[in-house]
Amino acid sequence: MRERYGWLNPALLALTAMLMVAALYMIFVWVPDERQQGPVYRIFFFHVPVAWTSFLAFFLVFIGSILYLWKRDEKYDIFAHSAAELGVVFASLMLISGSIWAKPIWGVWWIWEPRLTTSLILWLIYVAYLMVRMYATGPGQGARFAAILGIIGFIDVPIVYFSVILWRTIHPQPLVAPGDMGLEPSMIITLNVCVLTFTLLFIYLLRERIGLRRMGYEMEQLRQLGRS
């Protein structure tokens, strides 16, 4: 299967690179400064896409974990594990970029408001997911325990998203239309391009990570056969 679609990853990488160049031009040249925040708001075009990508990754962990517990097929465990690793990376970037944005706007790097707190909890859940796999006594046990955690942990994703609606918070509300938060149409277009760019980057990295993890699994199987 990998050989049959061997052209897909180079194509994804090339398309992502072109979109990344276009996104950088749009962020730093095309869109105007935001009326209240000034140029610092441009980190928003990085922060929102990495947040979306982390949610997508954890959703895939959720799906892969359900399929693994149902079918006990290693390919679903490999899929979920790879998505979780990338999800933690993008969630880390979400927290870091959010703190960088918060400092000039709120005057502090961090504040324990609902969106930030639930986002940190989400990050900790999936760090724990990776640690469960690392310290389990056996690969099968680690996969089962991690799958359960991956399913339960996904509950926090909608909580993070709706936290700005459910509780009083100083975090900006979700964007649903060009008029929200004073954003101009050019800003919405740029945001959509950035979201597409990071989504394609995630897909490329996920395919690469799955391929590497599958090779590692096959080598381990061969090593076990050699010992027997």
Mean pLDDT value of segment 141-163 = 91
Give the confidence band of 177 by pLDDT, cuts at 50, 70, 90: very low
User: Percent of the chain at pLDDT above 90?
Assistant: 50
The per-residue DSSP string of 90-121 comes to HHHHHHHHHHHHHHHHHSSS----HHHHHHHH
Query: Which sign, positive or negative, has the C-alpha torsion 107, 113, 117, 119?
Result: negative
Residue 47's identity, in one-letter code, is H
User: pLDDT per residue over 185-224, tens digit each?
Assistant: 888 899 999 999 999 999 999 999 998 888 877 676 666 6
Q: 162-199: string of b/e by CB count within 10 Å (b at 16+)?
A: ebbeeeebebeeeeeeeeebebeeebbebbebbbbbbb
In contact, 186 and 196? CB cutoff 8 Å:
no
Domain positions in the chain: 42-172+183-227
Q: What is the per-residue pLDDT across 20-43, written as a single tens digit (0 to 9) for each? A: 999 999 998 888 877 777 777 888
The mean pLDDT value for 112-136 works out to 90
Instruction: Tally Cβ neighbours within 10 Å of residue 2.
Output: 12
